[in-house]
Structure 1
């Protein structure tokens, strides 16, 4: 395995603030998407949506996020990254507020499109800021902490969101995100310093030319493909996760918060460990190990019949451990591909293609999975497990190529 020859440098006080605020920001972005899964059964019944309708609600965010990522890519390296972050985060907050106000399926669909137009670019800007402010030997730990927002959304956000939904209706879950995001946005406005080092290195005056030059570089294209495939599994399995648990595994709606909370707690424990390992050992070896665990657990999970509550919790914990062991090293490798002057455009395009691939995956999942009635078991969810596993294998090939590119660039 590849060993680091030096001890990774410690974080400064300001770097710790940046990690914390970006992790909290990502928490709201991820929660906004993830809360749809546990609310899926409620939404499909209250707004009279079919599985294909709900798949479209999920994918509409992804498609609009993909479109905005491409549109923003040419401009992503032309402005202070702090200003771009605040602009798109404000739009995301507004879109989430519209979700809370939605009264029917079509209004919710439109609100998700607006939210995706702004929210889809935020992750790319955050990654560009991380790559600008942290050395490559620090990024595994940074990714470990920032990706903890995924687990935190399960431990805190989803259970609280479900509690709000059960007590005051599903609209209140989105209002909760709006309030929290507004406070985080204020902290970014007041405390985050301008991020402008990349502005001195710009050579393309025309944003469209800058977009084209970034798209046309072959080493970048490999990173784009790897990241796009990374998102497919989540967009296929997660949207129907709560409906599968309730209608196939016979888990009660009130038990969902406990499942998400304990699964998230296990992820919070494992993710900093994965981040540290990613800074110390070969990143692709770590990714490959996580992929094997993920494939085994996904196939097992999607073929489950009714089991006790404790068993489904343990299965979820192990499955998400495999998924997290893929995300952190793969994301760390991808951020090492672009040059400083292309970093914003690369991250925007990367995020865009990831979102569009996820959107296609959600639509396909909605077409594969079928529910004859609102309370009957989901059909063909096992088929979905095989499809996702095949995608994981193909993704591993591209991540291996990214790993080779990164290693060769250091020689």
Structure 2
């Protein structure tokens, strides 16, 4: 791994741990701050909303600034934000600290992916993005379990102090290893970053990202009752199955980068087709524990195979000014997370059994596939179809 990308991967590990570790510490946080577990769970929602709404604000506000300086600033924001989380005297202070910390999440991954792609030859750009995102997948395998265990042993605040320490390392690594002048801002500044959002293909790419994420979380949000109530797996074994899912994500991330460098849109289309088949298979075998465990690994692989190609797709379609679009794509993934959990909740409230939730995931993936096919078709149409005429303009 090139050393500058390693620095970005360390920061993405820190960010990924920050985002997800709170889910393993909800009982401890709730007890310490005197709130209910559902109220503590809103700390997850608050973070996701911070990502969605903070991403464009940060991207637009830093459009003219050097990319290295922005990355150092965003990594520093995570250090300070996590320090305030660790010191938070009450629930609302912790909520504000989480939301403010999340403001830098989408912008870091969006700008970081553009920087990573600029550090390698053109035919290796998706792989470079995948290497940066490897920190995020490793956070689910190592950071979240280790952070949860640390919080259970020494209190939840100790986990955030540990994240602060890793964050300081990431800031130093970016400052030392990422070259100055890398991926210069677009010459048109804010105007060109916003203008590129008029391209239809940029929006289609973000819709695919959101739908792919929604298909995952419509089922994965309820993975624990599926594994225990349907598959008959013990509660104590669920953690190991989830680690297997994380390992699959890590493999899928690297494979997805390699495939996207080879054939980008065919990789997206093929992965979505395989995800539909996987969801249908999941619904049929969910009562068979050993087959279910193996399928969870494959699910993890397919889930992250599509991430580097979709980030690369956004960067390519917004090549004139990619920073805002790449950042918004991270917001699209997070919007899909929230929408998927809501879709699964609605399905359950309407009487869909846990065993049949994968059919909901398959249907959502089919929508993503339809959009991807439309985008692929536009690639072969006249260029004028790729721009959405601004409202109120004249020809």
TM bucket, shorter chain: 0.7 to 0.9
Equivalence for 2:204: 222
The answer to whether the Cα contact below 8 Å between 2:264 and 2:309 also exists between their aligned partners in 1 is yes
Q: 1:248-397, aligned counterparts within 5 Å?
A: 254-280=236-262, 282-298=263-279, 301=282, 308=289, 311-340=291-320, 342-363=321-342, 365=344, 381-382=354-355, 384-397=357-370
Equivalence for 1:5: none
Say which of 99, 120, 124 aligns to 1:113.
99
User: Deviation of residue 138 (structure 1)?
Assistant: 0.6
Say which of 175, 188, 202 aligns to 2:187.
202
User: 2:123 is paired with a residue of what secondary structure?
Assistant: coil
Q: Which deviates the most, 64-73 or 165-174?
A: 165-174
The answer to whether the Cα contact below 8 Å between 2:286 and 2:355 also exists between their aligned partners in 1 is no
User: Deviation of residue 81 (structure 1)?
Assistant: 0.7
The answer to whether the Cα contact below 8 Å between 2:250 and 2:304 also exists between their aligned partners in 1 is no
The alpha-carbon distance between structure 1 residues 109 and 254, as it changes in their structure 2 partners (threshold 3 A), is farther
User: Deviation of residue 139 (structure 1)?
Assistant: 1.7
User: Deviation of residue 338 (structure 1)?
Assistant: 1.4
CA distance in 1, matches of 2:219, 2:240: 19
Q: 1:136-155, aligned counterparts within 5 Å?
A: 136-155=122-141
Structure 1: tracts of 5 or more residues without a match: 1-14, 371-377
The answer to whether the Cα contact below 8 Å between 1:289 and 1:325 also exists between their aligned partners in 2 is no
User: Deviation of residue 177 (structure 1)?
Assistant: 2.2
The answer to whether the Cα contact below 8 Å between 2:213 and 2:333 also exists between their aligned partners in 1 is yes
The alpha-carbon distance between structure 1 residues 147 and 211, as it changes in their structure 2 partners (threshold 3 A), is closer
The answer to whether the Cα contact below 8 Å between 2:4 and 2:179 also exists between their aligned partners in 1 is no
Equivalence for 2:158: 172
User: Deviation of residue 321 (structure 1)?
Assistant: 1.6
CA distance in 2, matches of 1:86, 1:348: 16
Q: Deviations over 1:112-138 (max 9, x none)?
A: 312212223211111121233334311
Q: Deviations over 1:91-146 (max 9, x none)?
A: 22222333344566545433331221222321111112123333431123223323
The alpha-carbon distance between structure 1 residues 94 and 138, as it changes in their structure 2 partners (threshold 3 A), is same
CA distance in 2, matches of 1:120, 1:38: 22
The answer to whether the Cα contact below 8 Å between 2:72 and 2:175 also exists between their aligned partners in 1 is yes
CA distance in 1, matches of 2:275, 2:40: 25
Equivalence for 2:171: 185
The answer to whether the Cα contact below 8 Å between 2:193 and 2:322 also exists between their aligned partners in 1 is no
The answer to whether the Cα contact below 8 Å between 2:15 and 2:136 also exists between their aligned partners in 1 is no
CA distance in 2, matches of 1:271, 1:395: 19
Q: Which deviates the most, 113-122 or 401-410?
A: 401-410
User: Deviation of residue 320 (structure 1)?
Assistant: 0.8
Say which of 53, 61, 74 aligns to 1:88.
74
User: Deviation of residue 323 (structure 1)?
Assistant: 1.1
TM-score (norm 1): 0.77
RMSD of the TM alignment (CA)? 3.6
Equivalence for 2:142: 156
The alpha-carbon distance between structure 1 residues 24 and 233, as it changes in their structure 2 partners (threshold 3 A), is farther
